[in-house]
């Protein structure tokens, strides 16, 4: 239960992203009167939807991990998740294509993936299993003390037993650890890729991030029947069933304080009184633009402003009148030179000439997502966060052409001629639409040893009745972590053993 909520009867949530909706549900369950104010005309935040001429796309997340967290949220609220969502385990989780023609399917089943690896990297078949064992060990050591812990104070960071400090592999990079473990350049590139799941570079991020493969390759990756936007719709339905009010097209311009406590928020045309505000807006936006200047110490403002954001993304949604036999649900076309690609993104802050291209093709699993005989290709390329030097008007068209040319040359022959619907989302759009710091899609990057531990906390240390949730706060980006942030803010314990689905 949440004792402090007894004082907070009247709650305003800024933003209807996953975490904002989740926090609204948890607080409504505890008897609060909750209103969500969302600047856009749809709910869901980065988890959103685009439909045109018979094609349907999830515009943000396409892979769900740790579905047990959603299950726990619904359970807490007294609802049966099976009445809202159907989780579909993906097999394979993803198909990988390399520039030398090697192609393989990755399953959440070690022997099955090893059978694939035996074709192109027989020397690393055993190393695959031992790396996933190491990844699981990292998860076992770090999850309870970091992920599932609200880390309210800096002292909490020191709860890791001294004997485990070296086991979390924070003193070398993902790249160094992966290179040491594998001989095959294919597996090296495969395992480095997971650092991008929180918007970081494998050449800079600590090897602790090697925890991520455990989540996808051991615990499994899921699709939600009908598309991932169903998650946003389910959270909305759950919230509304508990009396939460949602106002879209309502941008909060200011969080109002009185005597260092929040007393309400101001939109363009109204003032909303609140005795608790949950900010699901990007923490950078909350601290630097929504709160009055004096509410945050200058050193904290500086730290928030200078911490490196995660990467952004460049999205091209193509509705085609063709099916692509070589594609499954999730697909990755790797670049030739991964190091150069990350150097472009994080150091030069330009779009890479030779990008790794991710394609979610949900029409593979849900034929209703495209016109008959067609496909809905959601194409995502990692992109730098926004800087003054980028000219997106110029980059956009050039990059669409580059990606389509590349995909045609990698086997999607006739792609350009098959396009019926085309829509893009650039880093500039991510900034304008969601107010995410410099268009980043996962909050701050984890490109230094401590960055992951220093994300903004889920309760403001400066304003007692301001809580922060979402991918830009502790513990990080992605749907599962955004959900965890809502539990942390509300001080509700998560059962860390139930992140995969359990029978109800």
Ligand X SMILES: Cc1cc2nc3c(=O)[nH]c(=O)nc-3n(C[C@H](O)[C@H](O)[C@H](O)COP(=O)(O)OP(=O)(O)OC[C@H]3O[C@@H](n4cnc5c(N)ncnc54)[C@H](O)[C@@H]3O)c2cc1C
When asked if residue 386 is in the footprint of ligand X (CB under 6 A), the reply is no
Return the exposure string of 131-149: e unless at least 16 CB atoms fall within 10 Å of the residue's CB, then b: bbebbbbbbebbbebbbbb
Using rule CB under 6 A, residue 437 touches ligand X = no
The span from the CA of 303 to the CA of 346, in Å, is 19
- Site for ligand X contains 37 (CB under 6 A): yes
How many amino acids of this chain bind ligand X (CB under 6 A)?
37
Buried-state track 174-193, b at ≥16 Cβ within 10 A, e below 16: bbebbbebbebebbbbbbbb
Q: Please confirm whether the linkage preceding 475 is cis (ω < 30° from 0).
A: yes
What is the chain's length?
504
C-beta separation of 379 from 412 below 8 A: no
Per CB under 6 A, the list member of 17, 202, 213, 352 interacting with ligand X is 17
404 binds ligand X (CB under 6 A): no
Q: 71, 135, 175, 280: which one contacts ligand X (CB under 6 A)?
A: 280
The DSSP element (H or E) to which 353 belongs, if any, is: none
How large is the greatest C-alpha to C-alpha distance in the chain, in angstroms?
Answer: 67
Whole-number minimum distance, CB 19 to ligand X, in Å?
3
Residue 281 touching ligand X (CB under 6 A):
yes
- 224 touches ligand X (CB under 6 A): no
Supply the minimum distance, in Å, between the C-beta of residue 194 and ligand X.
12
What would you report as the CA-atom Rg of the chain, rounded to the nearest whole angstrom?
22
Contact status: 383 vs ligand X (CB under 6 A): no
Q: Is 313 in the site for ligand X (CB under 6 A)?
A: yes
- Does residue 67 bind ligand X (CB under 6 A)? no
Considering only residues 161 to 220 of the shown chain, the ones binding ligand X according to CB under 6 A are none
Per-residue binding letters, 447-476, with ligand X (x by CB under 6 A): -----------------------xx-----
Cβ burial of 100 (10 Å; 0-12, 13-18, 19+) is: exposed
Instruction: Tell which one of 12, 147, 315, 383 touches ligand X (CB under 6 A).
Output: 315
Q: Hey, how many other C-beta atoms are within 10 angstroms of the C-beta on 43?
A: 23
Within its chain, how far is the Cα of 477 from the centroid?
4
- Provide the minimum distance between the beta carbon of 471 and ligand X in the complex, in angstroms, as a whole number: 3
Q: Among candidates 24, 25, 30, which has minimal Cα distance to 12?
A: 24
Question: Which residues are near ligand X by CB under 6 A?
Answer: 14-20, 37-40, 45-47, 60-63, 251-252, 280-281, 285, 313, 315, 380, 434-436, 441-442, 470-471, 477-479, 482
């Amino acid at each position: 239960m949440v004792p402090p909520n007894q004082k907070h009867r009247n709650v305003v949530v800024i933003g209807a992203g996953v975490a904002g909706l989740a926090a609204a549900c948890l607080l409504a369950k505890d008897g609060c009167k909750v209103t969500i104010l969302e600047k856009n005309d749809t709910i869901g935040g980065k988890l959103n939807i685009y439909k045109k001429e018979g094609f349907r796309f999830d515009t943000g997340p396409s892979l769900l991990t740790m579905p047990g967290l959603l299950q726990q949220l619904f359970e807490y609220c007294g609802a049966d998740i099976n009445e809202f969502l159907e989780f579909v385990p993906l097999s394979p989780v993803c198909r990988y294509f390399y520039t030398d023609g090697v192609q393989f399917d990755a399953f959440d089943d070690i022997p099955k993936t090893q059978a694939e690896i035996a074709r192109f990297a027989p020397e690393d078949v055993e190393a695959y299993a031992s790396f996933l064992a190491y990844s699981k060990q990292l998860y076992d050591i770090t999850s309870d003390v970091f992920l599932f812990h609200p880390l309210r104070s800096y002292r909490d960071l020191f709860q890791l037993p001294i004997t485990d400090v070296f086991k979390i592999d924070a003193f070398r990079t993902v790249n160094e650890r992966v290179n040491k473990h594998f001989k095959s350049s294919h597996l090296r590139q495969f395992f480095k890729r997971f650092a991008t799941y929180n918007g970081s570079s494998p050449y800079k991020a600590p090897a602790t991030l090697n925890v991520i493969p455990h989540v996808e390759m051991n615990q499994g990756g899921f699709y939600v029947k009908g598309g991932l936007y169903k998650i946003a719709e389910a959270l909305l339905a759950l919230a509304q069933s508990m009396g939460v009010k949602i106002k879209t097209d309502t941008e909060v311009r200011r969080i109002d304080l009185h005597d260092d406590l929040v007393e309400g928020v101001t939109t363009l045309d109204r003032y909303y009184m609140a005795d608790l505000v949950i900010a699901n807006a990007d923490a950078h936006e909350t601290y630097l633009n929504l709160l009055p200047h004096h509410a945050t110490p200058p050193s904290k403002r500086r730290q928030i402003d200078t911490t490196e954001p995660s990467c952004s993304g460049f999205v091209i949604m193509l509705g085609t009148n063709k099916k692509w036999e070589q594609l499954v649900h999730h697909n990755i076309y790797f670049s030739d030179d991964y190091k150069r690609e990350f150097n472009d993104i994080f150091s030069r802050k330009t779009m890479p000439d030779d990008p790794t291209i991710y394609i979610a093709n949900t029409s593979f699993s849900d034929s209703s997502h495209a016109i008959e005989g067609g496909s809905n290709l959601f194409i995502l390329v990692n992109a730098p966060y926004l800087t003054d030097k980028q000219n997106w008007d110029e980059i956009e068209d050039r990059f669409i052409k580059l990606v389509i040319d590349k995909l045609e040359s990698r086997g999607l022959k006739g792609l350009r001629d098959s396009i019926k619907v085309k829509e893009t989302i650039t880093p500039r759009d991510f900034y304008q639409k969601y107010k995410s710091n410099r268009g980043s899609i996962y909050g701050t990057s984890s490109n230094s040893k401590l960055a992951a531990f220093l994300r903004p906390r889920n309760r403001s240390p400066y304003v007692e009745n301001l809580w922060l949730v979402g991918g830009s706060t502790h513990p990080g980006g992605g749907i599962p972590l955004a959900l965890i942030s809502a539990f942390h803010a509300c001080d509700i314990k998560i059962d860390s053993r139930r992140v995969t689905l359990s029978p109800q």
